[in-house]
Amino acid sequence: PQRMPEQSAVEAAFRYLPAEQRSGVGGDWFDVIPLSGARVALVVGDVVGHGIHAAATMGRLRAAVQTLADVDLAPDELLTRLDDLVLRLSAESGADTEPSGAEAAGDIGATCLYAVYDPVSRRCSMALAGHPPPAVVGPDGTAEFLDVPVGPPLGLGGLPFESMDVTLQEGSLLALYTDGLIHSGHRDLGDGLEALREALAVPTGTLDSLCDHVVHKLLPEGPADDAALLLVRPRALDARRVAVWDVEADPAEVARIRSNAGRALAEWGLEDAAFVTELVVSELVTNAIRYGDTPIQLRLIHDRGLICEVSDSSSTAPHLRRARVFDEGGRGLLLVAQLTERWGTRQTAAGKTIWCEQTLAAAGGPLLSLEGTAAI
């Protein structure tokens, strides 16, 4: 990406160094992708080889990751889907490869790191597909590599990936990178990791200056292979901007929950959003009581927008349908979709969450804090 998307979960800086400087493109990629619930996805990937073939494959894989991230898959499941895609691309490219080709287009392989960070709980879930481990710089300035289970590179097929959850402390820093940054002709992988650890531990002030310092220390003569570096400083969403209520499976609960939501908006100074929010809360909570399973929970998050989430233990995903004139129901989600900026659903370990988000053009910016917050 040429610039970072607007989001509140992390502060980010990056450097991208293609091996072929003239073309300005390579087989490495990275992304910062806003997700529902104020969360963010962090991605770094590396396609085998460099040049135009690697860049073309990289573009397809990057688009696939963005699409799968929008579905809100867990990191291990997303890498499984991406592995299937690489297998298909390899099969298609292999059938069209000419024997005289300079690069064997059929030998498509890639590595990837996919992580999801939640600024409410400070939890980060991540999975690796043959990729170097991420590094964490603690509040005391010491750097270490996370012991994330390393799955197979993309394109092998049939082998599992495993996610790992970590809590990122206040004042910590997360470094994601590709092997072009740490591996060179005069340095093996172990020495490269140690050089990266030492470079990250040097206090430099801003993330941009730290990016420059790391690149200068590890690649003083420029990259021999494509290299990418993504540094992120996680933020915590102030607990005062999060409201949570448990909901009993009783239609009478809807009025109580709607009233609670209205009071929370008044405390946040968002009275102008009360009408739409109370209507959306009524629809989503009613649907959860009628069609979902207990336990049911409502969560409001005041971030850059106003996020409403209703969770229950049923894994059945809802879908929009057009109600007929004399139908007495079937308009709830359509109403939510029309009244809010965007909406969706994501699977959770305990069931599913239906969410929607309103824009708050007149509201102030999100109240963020780097102080430690309790998990909700």
How far apart are alpha carbons 53 and 138 in whole angstroms?
Answer: 38
pTM for this predicted structure: 0.87
The residue range of the domain holding 348 is 239-369
With respect to residue 376, please indicate whether it lies within any of the assigned structural domains.
no
Can you tell me the distance from the alpha carbon of 102 to that of 186, in angstroms, rounded to the nearest whole number? 26
CA distances from 281 to 64, 178, 240 (A): 33, 43, 19
Each residue's pLDDT tens digit in the chain (376 positions)? 888 888 999 999 999 988 776 666 778 999 999 999 999 999 999 998 777 888 888 999 999 999 999 999 999 999 999 999 999 888 877 655 544 443 443 467 899 999 999 999 999 999 999 999 999 999 998 999 999 999 999 988 878 999 999 999 988 999 999 998 998 767 778 888 999 999 999 887 899 999 999 999 999 887 778 899 999 999 999 999 999 999 999 999 999 999 999 999 999 999 999 999 999 999 999 999 999 999 999 999 999 999 999 999 998 877 665 545 444 455 678 889 889 999 999 988 889 999 999 998 643 444 444 343 333 2
According to the model, what pLDDT value does residue 253 have?
93
Whether 26 and 164 map to the same domain: the answer is yes
Give the per-residue pLDDT at 270: 95
pLDDT value, residue 45:
95
Q: What is the CATH number of the domain that holds 293?
A: 3.30.565.10
Write down the pLDDT at residue 21: 67
Domain end residue (candidates: 205, 237, 269): 237
Same domain, 264 and 318: yes
What local confidence, expressed as pLDDT, does residue 322 receive? 56
Give CA–CA dist 109/53, Å, rounded.
Answer: 12
What CATH number does the domain containing 112 carry? Answer: 3.60.40.10
Instruction: Report CA torsion sign: 337, 124, 109, 20.
Output: positive
Element (H, E) at 311: strand 305-312
346, 328: one domain? yes
243 and 204 fall within a common domain: no
Is residue 83 in some structural domain? yes
Cα–Cα separations (whole angstroms), residue 152 to 57, 83, 110, 115: 18, 9, 10, 16
pLDDT at 360: 85
Same domain, 110 and 149: yes
Residue with tokens 């990289």: 58
For residues 170 and 257, membership in a common domain is answered with no
* Boundary (domain end) residue, out of 191, 217, 237: 237
Residues whose CB falls within 8 Å of the CB of residue 172, separated by 6 or more in sequence, listed in order: 136, 137, 138, 139, 233, 234
In a domain, 224, yes or no: yes
The residue assigned the tokens 């688009």 is: 63
pLDDT at 370: 38
Q: Running DSSP on this structure, what letter comes out for residue 184?
A: B
Please state, as a whole number, how many other Cβ atoms lie within 10 Å of the Cβ of residue 285: 26
- Burial-class residue 83 by CB neighbours within 10 Å (0-12, 13-18, 19+): buried
Report pLDDT for 189: 82
Tell me, yes or no, whether 190 and 298 share the same domain: no
Give residue 365's pLDDT.
Answer: 43
The confidence score (pLDDT) of residue 321 equals 56
Q: Alpha-carbon torsion 148, 127, 58, 92, what sign?
A: positive
Residues 139 and 249 in one domain: no
**Which one of 183, 208, 237 terminates a domain?**
237
β-pairing verdict for 236-237 and 135-137: unpaired
256 and 204 in a common domain: no
The total number of structural domains that make up the chain: 2
